[in-house]
Amino acid sequence: MSDLETPARRAETTQKLAFVASDTAEANEALTELTDLYGNAAMQDADVIVALGGDGLMLQTLHAYLGSGTPIYGMNRGSVGFLMNEYRAEGLRERLTTAEITPIHPLVMEVVDHTGHVHHAKAINEVSLLRQTSQAARLKISVDGRVRLDELVCDGCLVATPAGSTAYNLSAHGPILPLHAPLLALTPISAFRPRRWRGALLPNRVKVDIEVLEPRKRPVSASADHAEIRDVARLSLYEEGSIDGLVMFDSDHGWDERILTEMFRY
């Protein structure tokens, strides 16, 4: 997809647009308006996929087309739109010509539940562990095979990518990461012991292993974006740098600007 980096060349190749919309009246009205103006190519033939909705739809679309080489351009027709551009029907092809394409890499998660079954999922935003009952979770955390926390007593914890650092991670008081930072954020959720531990910034090349202590007495679920696995015994994750999801942002409001805006929000 190197041609996409050249605006002049991209102007020639973004003629086939495919649209996908969330199941809301606002998104479907936009779908009808844009289809009338630009047509609606088959997904497999599209040069750009335009997602109409909120961040949830954008994540679903990115998951569906990870590694495909097809960039996704979101327009906000939902309640949350950090990953989305402003909705305007006119001048869409011109906006796509000058839009910035940003590659993002998913986390790959492997979970073993307490019956021994193995589950796999990918996350663009974060992998999170959460207690399932009133009992606090007890977790042992290792990084690249070395135990870093013998016991974290908490409501849960999460590992966020830079793309996901402004989502659940930020709500859990984790750090915001610039998109191109080679880092992952490991953030506790309501840590009880060690009470003052606030998490860690990890190189994005590491493998993180989390063992659930007392998994039957203190059951824990794992989520990779929208995919949830319950009754976790242990979890491993790493960033898969060989898989790209391509996100497009308007040139006057790219990802770096969005990150800076969040950092200085009060």
Compute the average pLDDT of residues 248-263: 78
Confidence of residue 133 (pLDDT cuts 50, 70, 90): very high
199 annotated to bind ligand: no
56 annotated to bind ligand: yes
pLDDT of res. 2: 44
163 annotated to bind ligand: yes
167 annotated to bind ligand: yes
Domain co-membership, 46 together with 166: no
Which tokens go with 31? 């779908």
Domain co-membership, 136 together with 179: yes
**Which of these ranges, 3-12, 21-30, 148-157, has the smallest mean pLDDT?**
3-12
Compute the distance between CA of residue 24 and CA of residue 93 in angstroms, rounded to an integer.
24
Domain co-membership, 206 together with 165: yes
Domain co-membership, 124 together with 93: no
28 annotated to bind ligand: no
125 annotated to bind ligand: yes
Domain co-membership, 40 together with 97: yes
Compute the distance between CA of residue 158 and CA of residue 107 in angstroms, rounded to an integer.
12
CB 90, CB 7: distance < 8 Å? no
pLDDT of res. 260: 76
Domain co-membership, 113 together with 230: yes
The string over 64-82, giving b where at least 16 C-beta atoms fall within 10 Å of a residue's C-beta and e elsewhere, is ebbebebbbbbbbbbeebb
Report the CATH number at residue 134: 2.60.200.30
For residue 32, count CB atoms less than 10 angstroms from its CB and return exposed for 0-12, middle for 13-18, buried for 19 or more: exposed
Chain centre distance of CA 18? 22
Per the structure, the count of domains in the chain is: 2
204 annotated to bind ligand: no
Query: Does 215 have pLDDT greater than 50?
Result: yes
Range of the domain at 153: 107-239
Mean pLDDT of the chain: 91
Helices (H), the chain: 7-13, 25-38, 55-64, 92-98, 168-171, 255-263
pLDDT in tens, 159-206: 999 999 999 999 999 999 988 899 999 999 999 999 889 999 999 999
The Cβ-side half-sphere exposure at 92, using a 13 Å CA radius, reads 28
Domain co-membership, 37 together with 55: yes
pLDDT in tens, 77-128: 987 678 899 999 999 999 999 999 989 999 999 999 999 999 999 999 999 9
Give this prediction's pTM: 0.88
Q: How far is CA 40 from CA 15, 69, 149, 183, in A?
A: 10, 19, 51, 38
Query: Does 1 have pLDDT greater than 50?
Result: no
166 annotated to bind ligand: yes
Domain co-membership, 74 together with 153: no
Domain co-membership, 232 together with 120: yes
Amino acid at 192: F
170 annotated to bind ligand: yes
Which tokens go with 63? 């998951």
Does the active-site annotation cover 3?
no
Domain co-membership, 230 together with 115: yes
Residue 52 forms beta bridges with which residues? Answer: 21, 75
Check 47, 55, 113, 244 and give the catalytic one. Answer: 55
Domain co-membership, 93 together with 126: no
Query: Does 9 have pLDDT greater than 50?
Result: no
Compute the distance between CA of residue 266 and CA of residue 258 in angstroms, rounded to an integer.
14
Report the CATH number at residue 9: 3.40.50.10330
pLDDT of res. 3: 47
pLDDT of res. 15: 80
Compute the distance between CA of residue 203 and CA of residue 47 in angstroms, rounded to an integer.
33
pLDDT of res. 117: 98
pLDDT of res. 266: 66
pLDDT in tens, 12-55: 444 899 999 999 999 999 999 999 999 999 999 999 999 999 99
Domain co-membership, 52 together with 138: no
- For residue 207, give the nearest of 234, 236, 164, 187 by alpha carbon: 236
Amino acid at 202: L
pLDDT of res. 8: 43
- Diameter over CA atoms, the chain: 60
DSSP 44: G
CB 38, CB 93: distance < 8 Å? yes
Using DSSP's 3-state secondary structure scheme, residue 258 falls into helix
